[in-house]
Amino acid sequence: MLRFLTTWIGSFQEYILLSGRAFGNIVREPHYYDDVLIQMDIIGFGSIPIVLLTGFFSGAIIALQMARALNTYGASSQVGSIVALTLVRELGPVLTALLVTGRNASGIASELGSMKVTEQIDAMRALGTDPVQKLVTPRLIATAVMLPALTVVADAIGLFGAYLVSVPLLKIISASQYWTTSYQALVMNDLAQGLLKPLIFGMIIALVGCFYGLRTTGGTQGVGRATTHAVVAASIWIFFVTFLIDKIFVNL
Amino acid sequence: MADTADTAEPILELKDVTLKFGETWGLRNVSLDLYPGQTFIIFGAAGSGKTTLLKAVIGLVRVDSGQIKLLGEDVTQMEEHELFGLRSRVGILFQEGGLFDSLLVGENVEYPLVNQQSSAKEGDSQGEEEVECRVRETLRFVELEHTMEKFPSELSGGMRRRVGIARAIVTNPPLVLYDSPTAGLDPITANTIMALIAKQRDVQNTASLLVSHRYQDGEIMADFRYDPEKKELLAIPEEARVSGANGTRFVVMRGGEIVFFGTRHELEASDDGYVKRFVRHEG
């Protein structure tokens, strides 16, 4: 038990050090702008199809379930506001982050892990490049910028999915009523946590992916292990941080 | 230490360098002075500290004590981020090539140039055309210009090693570290690679540390020189071979320690049972 704790604390310390160096490099020369753009394309643009699909169906499903529940209390007209609040505050950021974790934390960990086991990371250091500057910082910036953008897309398409269910399909509410209640339900506090969460999740996803990738050992099997650990750790951190942010914002 | 030293400053100086991995010696009181144009061929059994020595020279592994001066700078006193600039001025060939598999051959060779540019001050950098020209020239040097648009995985082991050499020398560094450049290659390809290394030494007066398992690698470096007019390796005269006039020296390591240092002639004359194992005896 003590050994497990020591290992865990050691790993967490390494993670914090890596994060510190990655953040420090944002303001330190040289800057690899091309790598940032490439990563933005892979992480942001590449995730759009899956984010659209998931966002749409989560909105539609919430509307279906809520319509029935709200009908019991004669409050069907509130479906728009409930969908908007659930999506913007919680489901949009968390679902999008989990999808990007599955898609990109794994991708980052396996790419960096393969580079590590084939000595490409050592080669990079030997050629005079800081691997953290070249590999970690661009992924950190790209994910932290693109995840909030993807979340906004997911929220919007989710609201549209819920609209299709509530208005043309179930006909429980009119279009103008749906959009007005959705819009009016949201206050600045909701939007703030709806955008703060993906920003922090983006940093977690990139840093956890890079951390497990860069400490890969043990050949191809090690790469597989690093990938699994990255996805599991990033997912747990996402839920934990959501809880913390909710706790803070609920008290505001 | 070396006859070629004369008045030139050493490119690399190691003084009493020591490193321990637990109870095992990685390096033990290693001292060396390497001058421009010199080649040290490093022999030793597996785990004798050959690769550790190469890594210590550029600070990839940190030593416990002693001093390593590379191009006039003390590696042992530098922080990791300070070392990147210094490392970019040294060429290195990894045992497995260490090529970036997601980059094309041309991009791999271009990498050190672009890397130097990104850390250079504005105005010092070369233009894109100049970089491409240099990459082509270097790939032509290793006779692989036609592979520029290929990925490393599409090349044979020997070709990958040659691309690795091209990447190591593209910036014309004053020092190149070769880690087992001929390991696992057939004799013909191995000789081609050694010929390229000797050519680089004689054309650019490059100093090299070369870890090897093949005695022939040392023979090529010690007994031949590249003739730029005839464009081939020519044997050097017998008396120059005996005196080690072209600056090639042999280093034999055991347990992290240097147990032999000298010319090929001295190596062949050694009575030490361990040292003798690295010499190919005729007949």
Contact across the interface for A126 and B85, Cβ inside 8 Å: no
Given CB atoms, is A252 within the 8 Å cutoff of chain B? no
Contact across the interface for A128 and B118, Cβ inside 8 Å: no
pLDDT confidence tier of residue B227, bands split at 50, 70 and 90? confident
pLDDT in tens, A201-242: 999 999 999 999 999 988 889 999 999 999 999 999 999 999
pLDDT score of B4 more than 60: no
Q: What is the mean pLDDT of chain A?
A: 91
Q: What H or E segment, with its residue span, contains residue B28? A: strand B24-34
Decide which of B151 and B127 is more confident: B151
pLDDT score of B241 more than 90: no
Q: Which of B41, B3, B14 is nearest to B209 (CA)?
A: B41
pLDDT in tens, A184-202: 888 888 888 899 999 999 9
Q: How many domains does chain A have?
A: 1
Q: How close are the terminal C-alpha atoms of chain B, in Å?
A: 33
Res B40: pLDDT? 93
B83 is a domain residue: no
- Contacts with A49 (C-beta within 8 Å, 6 or more apart), sequence order: none
A63 is a domain residue: yes
Q: What is the dihedral of CA B218, B222, B228, B231, to 10 degrees?
A: -50
pLDDT in tens, B143-180: 888 999 999 999 988 889 889 989 998 998 999 999 98
Q: Which CATH number is B217's domain given?
A: 3.40.50.300
pLDDT confidence tier of residue B124, bands split at 50, 70 and 90? low
Q: Find the closest chain A residue to B95 by CA distance.
A: A119
Q: What H or E segment, with its residue span, contains residue B73? A: strand B73-74
Distance CA A189, CA A194 (A): 8
- Contacts with B96 (C-beta within 8 Å, 6 or more apart), sequence order: A118, A119
Q: How close are the terminal C-alpha atoms of chain A, in Å?
A: 39
Q: Quick one: average pLDDT of B116-123?
A: 64
Please report the number of interchain residue pairs, chain A to chain B, with beta-carbon separation below 8 angstroms.
56
Q: Which residue from A32, A119, A130 is facing B84, i.e. has the nearest CB?
A: A130
Distance set, CA B15 to CA A51, B29, B34, B41, B89 (Å) = 59, 7, 12, 19, 21
pLDDT score of B137 more than 90: no
Q: At which residue do the structure tokens 């609209």 appear?
A: A163
**Which residues form the domain of B280?**
1-78+206-283
B165 is a domain residue: no
A3 is a domain residue: no
List phi, psi (to 5°) of B154. Answer: -85, -5
> B80 to chain A: which residues are within 8 Å by CB?
130
B7 is a domain residue: yes
B70 is a domain residue: yes
Res B122: pLDDT? 52
User: What share of chain B has pLDDT > 70, as a percent?
Assistant: 93
Given CB atoms, is A128 within the 8 Å cutoff of chain B? yes
Q: What H or E segment, with its residue span, contains residue A182? A: helix A175-185
B246 is a domain residue: yes
Res B126: pLDDT? 66
Say which amino acid occupies B131. V
Q: Quick one: average pLDDT of A102-128?
A: 92
SS3 B7: coil
Q: How many domains does chain B have?
A: 1
Q: Find the closest chain B residue to A123 by CA distance.
A: B98
> Distance, in angstroms, between A70 CA and closest chain B CA?
54
Give the range among A186-200, B99-113, B220-234 with minimum mean pLDDT: B220-234
Distance set, CA A21 to CA A107, A121, A141, A216, B85 (Å) = 21, 16, 13, 19, 18
**Which residues form the domain of A226?**
31-251
Given CB atoms, is A123 within the 8 Å cutoff of chain B? yes
Q: What is the dihedral of CA A17, A22, A28, A31, to 10 degrees?
A: 150
Q: What is the dihedral of CA B158, B160, B166, B169, to 10 degrees?
A: -90
> Distance, in angstroms, between B85 CA and closest chain A CA?
6
Q: Find the closest chain B residue to A129 by CA distance.
A: B84
Distance CA B50, CA B254 (A): 9
In a mutational test of the A interface, the residue from B82, B116, B118, B128 whose CB has the highest number of chain A CBs within 10 Å is B118
A9 is a domain residue: no
Q: Find the closest chain B residue to A21 by CA distance.
A: B81
A190 is a domain residue: yes
A62 is a domain residue: yes
Q: What residues form DSSP beta bridges with B69?
A: B13, B74
Res A157: pLDDT? 94
B239 is a domain residue: yes
A64 is a domain residue: yes
